[in-house]
Chain A
Amino acid sequence: MSEIAGTRPALRWAVHASVLFLVVLWVVPTLGLFISSFRTADQIATSGWWRAIFPSEQNLTLRSAAPDTQVQENGLYVIEGNLFDAGTKARISKWGVSSREFDAFEPGQTAELRKGGTITVQANGDYRMENSEEFTGSRGTRVFVTAELPPEFTLDNYHKVLLAEDSTDSMAKAFFNTLTVTIPATIIPILVAAFAAYALAWMDFPGRALLIAAVVGLLVVPLQLALIPLLKFHLNIGIGKGYLGVWLAHTGFGLPLAIYLLRNYMAGLPRDLIENARVDGATEFQIFTKLILPLSFPALASFAIFQFLWTWNDLLVAKVFLIDASGETTVMTNRIVELLGTRGGNWEILATAAFVSIAVPLAVFFAMQKYLVRGLLAGSVK
């Protein structure tokens, strides 16, 4: 078939170009945060992240080694070394010896020092100071350079956010709390829903159609309505705010979608299979555990991904049912919102914290995209 994107070359290029444009538009914001998380606070605050990928030209104030390192060569006092820290691969384009002259000399030229003697600076930062008299003072002389610095990235932010023991910026605890919320809140609703979905798909009883309709209705009930009544309920029965409460809440809120997805999938399984098993004398419980559950794996996986993403990314339910005044049970989303409030300008901490929390869902997303798409297609009410 001749397709839209195939007939005319001009149109085809337009299609490729516009898709590329849209993809860039969609990816760049995330990329910006990602790159920022590998930059130091200074770098983030002084230049846009898009500059970080290219070498940047900067004016730097550097210092030679102190006079006590000087040696005597042929009657001259000499100090030699490199202006940059070991491992820095910068190239000096211009330099000078006063703060008003970053560009007085070319690399390789020699300048007179104010306090006597000369200095020669090479492009790679090597310098040689010579003087007929002894260099004095306790500190080295300052050199002002215009240098091209290679892109520089650091893992310090991640170290600070994930591993620092006493740091107020630590996300380690929140990370484990989030995991603690997420895993039971993903597994339990699956089990409960699977049994119910089987009953709704393959058992005959009065009121079945009504129940299915009710599940579809509950799919869209905003969970905002549930906050106060359930918090009151939890406080009354003594659960209070805590993990148990948040697990129960996530289970309740996840059930409509779980039942809906699983029922639709199970209803599509071949009827013969189930009836043959019944004729062979299998009990309903056996049919369910030995036949239906294994066959429904794709639907189970779809829902598991949804529920995982939703509970991992959730803020509202955790805020209402989990996080108490002590803050011991805080989750990552909540920590990030707190950081936004208190450290709104500290982009290195914010970006890194956000990326720590985003990384896990992204990994799940790229690994299990197939099931996610399948679930979306089955889950949007037709």
Chain B
Amino acid sequence: MHPAIQGLLTIAIGVSGCIGYFYLSNQVLDKILFPARGPNAGRNINRANMIRPWLFLFPALAALGLYLAYPVVETLRLSLTERVPGGGYEWVGLDNYAQMVAEPKFWEAIRNNMLWLIVVPALSTAFGLLVAQLTDRIRWGNIAKSLIFMPMAISFVGASVIWKLVYDTRPVEQDQIGMLNALYLFFGGSEPQNWLTIPLWNNFFLMIVLVWIQTGFAMVILSAALRGIPEETIEAAILDGASPFQIFFKIKVPQIKTTILVVWTTITITVLKVFDIVFAMTNGQWETQVLANYMFDKLFRANDWGVGSASAMVIMLLVTPILVWNVRNARKEME
């Protein structure tokens, strides 16, 4: 069967299945199990209303449990076991973790991830804030914002191709076709550089790609926050003779502190999961390994599920503080 027809069929089955499930289960509940008539009508209505939420929730909860909650537990288990040749698993305790921390590649990934975690959220938020502030009151601000926001729609892989062309290197006697080398030579560089193979610095060239993508996100959120600042506070500052820079740093920024924090943490999570960019541009060579790509390497190239799962748990561990913080904030907000 042609995949397109299969796809259409799946949409039809999926959609009618969902609607059918919700419709029928409600019918069964109201008409058969607890009909709202007869001697127990009142009690039946109450019972039906107790069960109904779970009917609505069931498919979502099942999917969430199976596709997100269960894997966390299962990955933890896998990280503590080793596959035995011929099938089955063997409990090995923390051996996988020990093996992992003994590998220099792992520490390289940790070091690079730390760099990513500092540089990308900081630069994206700073640029986002800068653009949000600068475009706030100019007439073509919306067009400018829209163009800076655009990379959000581009895949990490597409962005990698875009930037690989920017970083391209040709031999010294030829015309450079990569913009960076062309600029470098124009401003007096001696010979074209292989930007992606210079250890340590190449990490920053990869980070630029993510900053380029994420700045739009930061800008959109921060721009809305800036507009939400009460005008009176700014008017008061102007009357008191504050300079534009003072207004920005002393009046505006403190008032949107929480939003800045939200943007920062959201980008942090994206950074922890970053895989495609490194995979497509360097595949972890020349000391650009990061945790997510290290994990992919272990799982699908070395076929070592134990160490792969252990490194996945490290990513989970790094996300956990943000997870806890988010949940606490959400609960506070609901009260």
- Cβ of B309 within 8 Å of any chain A Cβ, yes or no, is yes
* A19 CB contacts on chain B under 8 angstroms: 131, 134-135, 138, 141, 144
Contact B30 A183 (CB under 8 A): no
Whether, in the assembled complex, A227 has its beta carbon less than 8 Å from a beta carbon of chain B, the answer is yes
Per-residue CB proximity of A197-211 to B under 8 Å, as 1/0? Answer: 011100111001101
Is B220 a contact partner of A337 (Cβ separation < 8 A)?
no
Residue of B nearest to A224 (CB): B312
B187: interface (CB < 8 Å): no
- Write out the residue numbers on chain A whose beta carbons fall within 8 Å of the beta carbon of B295: 224
Q: Produce 1/0 per residue, A312-335, CB < 8 A to B.
A: 111110011000000001000100
Do A213 and B26 have beta carbons less than 8 Å apart? Answer: no
Complex CA–CA separation, A177 to B7 (angstroms):
9
Contact A315 B156, beta carbon cutoff 8 Å? yes
Q: Which residue of A lies closest to B131 (CB)?
A: A22
A183 to B12, CA, bound (A): 11
User: In angstroms, how far is the closest chain A Cβ from the Cβ of B145?
Assistant: 9
The verdict on B78 contacting chain A, using a C-beta distance below 8 Å, is: yes
Nearest-CB distance from B166 to chain A (Å)?
5
Number of interface residues of B (CB under 8 A): 122
B-contacting 9-mer, from A140-148, A151-159, A214-222: A214-222
Q: Which residues of A contact B53 (CB under 8 A)?
A: 199, 203-205, 208
Write out the residue numbers on chain B whose beta carbons fall within 8 Å of the beta carbon of A259: 60
Residues of B50-85 contacting chain A, CB below 8 A: 50, 52-54, 56-57, 59-61, 63-64, 66-72, 74-75, 78
- Chain B nearest CB, measured from A56 CB (Å): 11
Minimal beta-carbon separation of B199 from chain A (angstroms): 20
Looking at A73-81, A122-130, A353-361, the stretch in contact with chain B turns out to be A353-361
The B interface, classified by DSSP as helix, strand, loop or mixed, is helix
Bound-state Cα–Cα, A48 to B168, Å = 10
Q: Chain A interface residue count: which class? A: 35 or more
- The answer to whether B158 and A313 have CB atoms under 8 Å apart is yes
CA distance A247 to B316 in the complex (A): 24
A residues in contact with B14, CB < 8 Å: 184, 187-188, 191, 247
- Residue A65 interfacial (CB < 8 Å): no
Closest residue of chain A to B22, judged by CB?
A195
Contacts of B209-235 to chain A: CB distance below 8 A: 212, 215, 217, 220-221, 224, 231, 234-235
Q: B3 touching A177 by the CB < 8 A rule?
A: yes
A11 within 8 A of B: yes
Interface residue from A16, A209, A228, A249 paired with B138 (Cβ < 8 Å): A16
Q: Does A235 contact B (CB under 8 A)?
A: no
Q: Are A226 and B71 in contact (CB under 8 A)?
A: yes
B102 at the interface (CB under 8 A from A): no
Instruction: Verify A357–B155 contact, CB threshold 8 A.
Output: yes
- A225 in contact (CB, < 8 A): yes
A15 surroundings in chain B (CB, below 8 A): 134, 138
**Cβ contacts A to B, 20 pairs, < 8 Å:** A22-B130, A27-B150, A32-B166, A48-B182, A184-B10, A191-B14, A191-B19, A192-B18, A196-B60, A199-B52, A213-B330, A213-B331, A220-B269, A229-B75, A230-B71, A255-B60, A333-B276, A337-B280, A377-B221, A380-B221
